[in-house]
Amino acid sequence: MLTKRIIPCLDVKDGRTVKGINFEGLRDAGDPVALGALYAKQGADELVFLDISATNEGRGTFAELVIEIAAECTIPFTVGGGINSVKDVDRLLKAGADKVSINSSAVKNPDLINELAKEFGSQCIVLAIDAQHANGDWMVYTHGGKKSTDKELYSWAREGEQRGAGEILFTSMNHDGTKNGFAIAALNELGKQVTIPIIASGGAGTMSHFVDVFKEGGADAALAASVFHFGEIAIPDLKSYLRDNDIAIRN
């Protein structure tokens, strides 16, 4: 049986970890390098670092921070934000990242997924999808949730898989930061639409929400931020709780 993964997410802005609600009202959550090292020691399976202002500021992800993270982090980590080319990915992987996450740039230029998968392999290409549910549809947003698109969640995820993405990181903008639970129904449907692993993001508030996202949502991994950053859930306690609920989890 494949084990489920617990992935803390560090949204980085101006060199600091930040967290908001529904992509708004950001507040400081600490030093990303120190937090990454702490989560690795606590037993996180992977880490995700997202430079959330890179796309809106029209610049690339800062490789210097990736080098710092790699020096302190003992588990695989994914980096995203402002990635637009093979050159960008090459720079980040050489700096120490294990995988890259692409979002806005892939929507703008879907062929980028093909190019990156061909150059580096699907296993290190994560297609991040931020989507909002309204009027019965899940529609995709870019630029940190600031720009709407005409793409629909499920069709875009299928296209991403066909083009070579190795994983889907789906964030429900409706659930982000609310701590009311993950978008279970959408995750369930997403799992029927693609065969690659799905990372669920948005809505974690209690340990039972993680049980729900794995048992009912069918996610392969669960990503969370504020519940870890502000000490509401400790990763060792969460893993013990998941094992008690018959969920296969790494030590």
* 203 in a structural domain: yes
* 249 in a structural domain: no
For 190-214, how does the pLDDT look when each residue is reduced to its tens digit (9 = 90+)?
999 999 999 999 999 999 999 999 9
- CA 107/CA 113 separation, integer angstroms: 10
Greater model confidence, 148 or 161: 161
Domain containing residue 120: 5-244
Q: Is residue 25 scored above 50 in pLDDT?
A: no
pLDDT, residue 87, reads 94
* 198 in a structural domain: yes
Active site residues: 11, 130
* 130 in a structural domain: yes
Q: Which residues pair with 58 in a beta bridge?
A: none
CATH code at position 204: 3.20.20.70
* 170 in a structural domain: yes
Lowest mean pLDDT among 8-17, 132-141, 209-218: 8-17
End-to-end CA distance of the chain: 14
Per-residue pLDDT, averaged over 219-230, amounts to: 91
For 16, residues 6+ apart whose C-beta sits below 8 A from its C-beta are 28, 29, 30, 31, 32
* 125 in a structural domain: yes
* 210 in a structural domain: yes
Q: How many domains does the chain have?
A: 1
Q: What pTM value is reported for the model?
A: 0.91
Measured CA distances, 54 to 58, 87, 165, 176 (Å) = 6, 16, 21, 20
Q: Are 100 and 60 in contact (CB under 8 A)?
A: no
For 162-191, how does the pLDDT look when each residue is reduced to its tens digit (9 = 90+)?
999 999 999 999 998 789 999 999 999 999
* 250 in a structural domain: no
pLDDT, residue 23, reads 43
Q: Are 138 and 148 in contact (CB under 8 A)?
A: no
